[in-house]
Structure 1
Amino acid sequence: MNSAERFLQDFHQRRPGTTPPAFAELRLAGRGCSYDMLAATLDALRPDARVLDLGCGDGFLLERLARQHPRAQLLGVDMSATELQAAQRRLAGRGLLLEERAQSLSLASASIDAVLSHLALMLMSDIDQVLQEIHRVLVPGGRLSAVVGREFLLGELGQHYLQVFRAAARRDQLAHLPLVDPRAQSERGWRELLSQHFTGLHFEELDLPWTPTFEELWNSLGDTYDLDRLTPANQRLMKNELHDATEHLQASDGTLSTGWGLLLIQARAV
C-alpha cells in the first residue's frame, strides 16, 4: 500500500459517506444524477445478474440498485471498514459486502456479470492490476461501467480555486500525493488502460451544472481530499482568499456558476 492509498484509507475511515451528498443532487435534465446514469447501464442485464460495486463506499449506489433490480445478486467491495459499516446499515443485508483491495479480489474468476464504480476507479493504485482483476472476475462479455473524474470545478471558478489551493499547499509544504494515475485523467489514457482486456469502449463526457452560494461551495470543498490535508489555520486563510478571488463571479442572488466534469466509461470484457 503506497502513500496515496494510505491517505485514502485514512480519509474514508474518518469521514465515511462524503461522496453521495456532493453528487446525488447534481443532475442532467432527463437523465438524473451520475449515480442514475451509472445504474442505467444495467438496464439490459438479466434480472438475476451478479453485479459488483467496486469502491462501494457507504452503499449509496448499491441501495439504488437494490430498489431498481430487486432480483440482482449485489456485491460491494471497499477497503474502508467504516464505509462498509455504513453500507451494512444502509443495505440491511441486501448485498454481500467485502473488505478488500481491488488489486486482489477474493471473487472467483468469471463470477460477475457487471462491475460498476462511481468516482473510485481512477483513485485506485496500480490501476493496471485493478483492471486485470476486473477482467478476471467478469464473465466473457461482462460489462464494466464507471463514472470517473474529468474536471474539478468547471469554468473560471475552477481556475481561481487551483491558484488559491496551490498557494495554500505551499504554505503547508504539502508533499506531492499522486492520487490519480496520469493515464486515468483523459479519455486517451483510459483507452490505453482498457484496450488489453476490454472491447466496445464508449466514453461520454458529463458536465453536471452547480450553482452554489460561496458558503455552500466552501462547505462542499471541506469534504474533499485537498482541504483535508491543510491545517485548520491554513483552511481559514484559503477560504478568505478564495472568497476574494471569486467575489466578482457571484450573480445577483449570490450564487456562483460552476459544475463537475465527469466521464462515463462503458466497456465489455474480452
Structure 2
Amino acid sequence: MNRAERFLQDFHQRRPGTTPPAFSGLGLPGRGSSYDMLAATLAAARPGAQLLDLGCGDGFLLDLLARQYPEARLIGVDMSTTELQAARRRLTERCVLLNERAQSLSLASGSVDAVVSHLALMLMSDIEQVLAEVHRVLAQGGQLSAIVGRSFLLGEPGQRYLQVFRAAAQRDRLAPLPLVDPRAQSQDGWRQLLARHYRDVQFEELDLEWRPSFEEFWDALGQTYDLDRLKPATCSLMKDELHRAIQPLLRTDGTLLTGWGLLLIQANAA
C-alpha cells in the first residue's frame, strides 16, 4: 500500500459517506444523478445477474441498485471498514459486503456479470492490476461501467479555487500526493488502460451544474481530500481568501455558477 492509498484509507475511515451528499442532488434533465446514470447502464442485465460495486463506500449506489434491480445479486467491495459499517446499516441483508482491495479480489473468476464504480476507480493505485482483476472476475462479455472524475469545479470558480488552494498548500509545505494515475485523467489514457482486456469502450462527458452559495461551496470543499490535508489555521485563512477571490463571481441571488465534470465509461470484458 503506497502513501496515496494510505491517505485515502485513513480519510474514509475518519469521514465515511462524503461522496453521496455532494453528488446525489446534482444531475442532468431526464437522466437524474450520476448514480442514476450509472445504474441505468445495467438496464439490460439479466434477472439474477451478479453485480459488483467496486469501492462501494457507504452503500448509496448499492441501495439504488437493490431497488431498481431487486432480482440481482449484489456485492460491494471497499477497503474502508468504516464505510462498510455504514453500508451494512443502510443495506441490512440485501447484499454481500467485502473488506478487500480491488487489486486482489476473493471472488471466483468469471463469477460477476457487471462491475460498477462511482468516483472510485480513478483513485485506485496500480490501476492496471485493478482493471486486470476486474476482467478476471467478470464473465466473458461482462460489463464494466464507471463514473470517474474529469474536471474539478467547472469554470472560473474552479480556477480561483485552485489559485487559493495552491497558496495554502505552499504555506503548509504539503508534499505532492498524486492520487490519480496520469492515464486516468484523459480519454486517451483510459483507452490505453482498457485496451488489453476490454472491447466496445465508450465514453460520455457529463457536466453537472451546481449553483451553491459561498457557504455551501465551502462546506462541500471541506469534504474533499485537498482541504483535509491542510492545518486548521491554514484552512480558516484559506476560507477568507477564497471568499474574497470568489466575491466578483457571485450572481445577484448570491450563488456561484460552477459544477463538476465527470466521465461515464462503459466497456465489455474481451
Matched, 1:145 2:137: no
Structure 1 ranges of 4+ moved more than 2 A: none
Q: TM-score under structure 1 normalisation?
A: 1.00
SS of residue paired to 1:145: strand
Tell me, which stretches of 5 or more residues in structure 2 are unaligned?
Answer: none
Matched-pair identity in % = 73
SS of residue paired to 1:223: coil
Instruction: State the 1:168 CA deviation.
Output: 0.4
Instruction: State the 1:47 CA deviation.
Output: 1.5
Following superposition of structure 1 onto structure 2, how do residues 225-240 of structure 1 map, counting pairs within 5 Å? 225-240=225-240
Deviation by residue 1:95-115 (Cα, 9 ceiling, x = unmatched): 000000000000000000000
SS of residue paired to 1:144: strand
Deviation by residue 1:138-161 (Cα, 9 ceiling, x = unmatched): 000000000000000000010001
Letter in 1 for 2:264: L
Matched, 1:128 2:166: no
Deviation by residue 1:14-54 (Cα, 9 ceiling, x = unmatched): 00000000000001000000000000000001021100000
Cα separation, 2, equivalents of 1:107 and 1:48 = 17
Following superposition of structure 1 onto structure 2, how do residues 46-57 of structure 1 map, counting pairs within 5 Å? 46-57=46-57
Letter in 1 for 2:172: D
Provide the residue aligned with 1:30 in structure 2.
30
Matched, 1:83 2:108: no
Cα separation, 2, equivalents of 1:47 and 1:249 = 50
Matched, 1:196 2:217: no
SS of residue paired to 1:107: coil
Instruction: State the 1:79 CA deviation.
Output: 0.1
Letter in 2 for 1:148: V
Length, aligned pairs only: 270
Following superposition of structure 1 onto structure 2, how do residues 167-178 of structure 1 map, counting pairs within 5 Å? 167-178=167-178
Provide the residue aligned with 1:160 in structure 2.
160
Deviation by residue 1:213-242 (Cα, 9 ceiling, x = unmatched): 000000000000000000000001111111
Cα separation, 1, equivalents of 2:192 and 2:167 = 33
Cα separation, 2, equivalents of 1:31 and 1:221 = 25
Deviation by residue 1:38-76 (Cα, 9 ceiling, x = unmatched): 000000010211000000000000000000000100000
Provide the residue aligned with 1:2 in structure 2.
2
Provide the residue aligned with 1:223 in structure 2.
223
Instruction: State the 1:252 CA deviation.
Output: 0.6
Q: TM-score under structure 2 normalisation?
A: 1.00
Letter in 1 for 2:171: R
Cα separation, 2, equivalents of 1:156 and 1:221 = 16
Q: Root-mean-square deviation (CA), in Å?
A: 0.3
